[in-house]
Structure 1
Amino acid sequence: MTGRTLVDEEILLEQLDFIRLSLPSVFQEAAAILEQKEEVLLEAEEYGQQIVEAAQAKRAQILAESDITKQAQREAEELRQQVQKECEAMMQETLTEIELKRRACQQELEEMRKTAIAQAQEIENGADEYADSVLEGIEQDLQDMLRIITNGRQQLRADSPSSKRK
């Protein structure tokens, strides 16, 4: 119990020989593993970089598509507003034109009414003048007839025997 351990010298020497012989191959394996580790890390880094680049490209594509979509939506909205303004302007023009035509028709109708009233007045005046002319002719004829009758009666009285006796 002195703190020492007893080891079989022959076993120890065999193991030391084994270690001595095995060490170079273990070191070579370790070096190979380290080299593989470096290659795997490089490959993993390259693969990771490719994934990052692919993700960035996809992100850029999505953003571009999103921008294109937004731009298309903006343009569609602008076009819709422009068409709506044009329609409203055309409607206003049409309403203005209708109002102008309505006023023109009203004015023309008023002129036609005035013309018709003037023509009716002219016809009435002409009819009155004609009636007056006809009545004047009849009056003249009647006066002539009355004179003839009066003259005829006077002549009859003058030619009658009772008037000669007197």
Structure 2
Amino acid sequence: MPSQNSPNLEPEENRGFPPLADAADLGSGEIQQELARLEEIILSSPHIPLTRRTLVDEEQLLDRIDLIRSLLPTVLQQAQAIVAQRQNILLQAEQEADEIIQTAQTQAAQIVERTTIVQQADLSARQLQQQVQQECLLAQEENLQQIDRLRQEAERQIERMRQEAIMEAEDILRGADDYADAVLNSLEQQLTEALRIIYNGRRQLQPDETQQRKSA
């Protein structure tokens, strides 16, 4: 309602002000605009001479105040929605951060596990290589010892066979000498017997020759 002491002022549309907007269509920024319009209404209203008072259209001023008052719940709801949205964003960000941290921890654990497996495999491979090298060296040493034992045994057998061959050759030589001596002895006996027979035969022939000489 207009004030009884207020002069007749021009309508709002004639004063260059925009029409009132529906509170449901206004955002949080509309309050600042309405406050600016309210300030403009006050500053553009006529002043009472020699005073600091201003004649203001009460109805227009109350309409603006009612509009601002009607905007407050919407703005508060928007602010609450923004706060809730921010909280949801923060909660979602925290959840995503937790998921990222858990994923990173899982990946780090997997990397550590794979690294441990690789290190264990490398250690096992080095230990196996060292074991194989030691076994090869041991087998080589055993083979060399076995070869040396076989060589020594072969040398002993060769020496024994050589000694046996020498002894057998000496036996053969001694047997040959004995055989030759026996043959020569037998031949000597035969020759001796033959000479004896020849000698006896000649002796038997000699008396006949002597008598023949005497008869002649």
- Report TM bin, short chain: 0.7 to 0.9
Greater share of residues in helix: 1
Matched, 1:78 2:78: no
Aligned-partner Cα distance in 1 for 2:154–2:214: 84
Q: Distance in 2 between matches of 1:41 and 1:34?
A: 10
Counterpart mapping for 1:7-156 below 5 A: 7-8=44-45, 9-10=56-57, 12-156=61-205
Provide the TM-score with structure 1 as the length reference.
Answer: 0.87
Relative contact order higher in (CA < 8 Å, ≥ 6 apart)? 2
Q: Which amino acid aligns with 2:198?
A: I
For 1:151 and 1:165, how far apart are their aligned partners in 2? 24
Ranges in structure 2 where 5+ consecutive residues have no aligned partner: 1-41, 46-55
Residue 60 of structure 1 and its aligned partner are, at CA, apart by 0.8
Identity %: 42
Distance 1:116 1:134 in 2: 26
Structure 1 CA distance for aligned equivalents of residues 138 and 183 of structure 2:
66
Residue 55 of structure 1 aligns to a residue whose secondary structure is: helix
Q: Which amino acid aligns with 1:65?
A: R
Distance in structure 2 (CA, Å) of the matches to 1:32 and 1:149:
167
How far apart are residue 97 of structure 1 and its match? 0.9
Quick one: distance in 2 between partners of 1:77 and 1:148?
A: 103
Aligned residues: 162
Question: In structure 2, do the counterparts of structure 1 residues 163 and 12 end up closer, same or farther at CA, with 3 Å as the change threshold?
Answer: farther
Q: CA RMSD in A?
A: 2.0
1:124 maps to amino acid: L
> TM-score, normalising length from structure 2?
0.68
Q: 1:14 to 1:35 in 2, by over 3 A?
A: same
Which deviates further from its counterpart, 156-165 or 137-146? 156-165
1:157 equivalent to 2:194? Answer no
Tell me, which stretches of 5 or more residues in structure 1 are unaligned? Answer: none
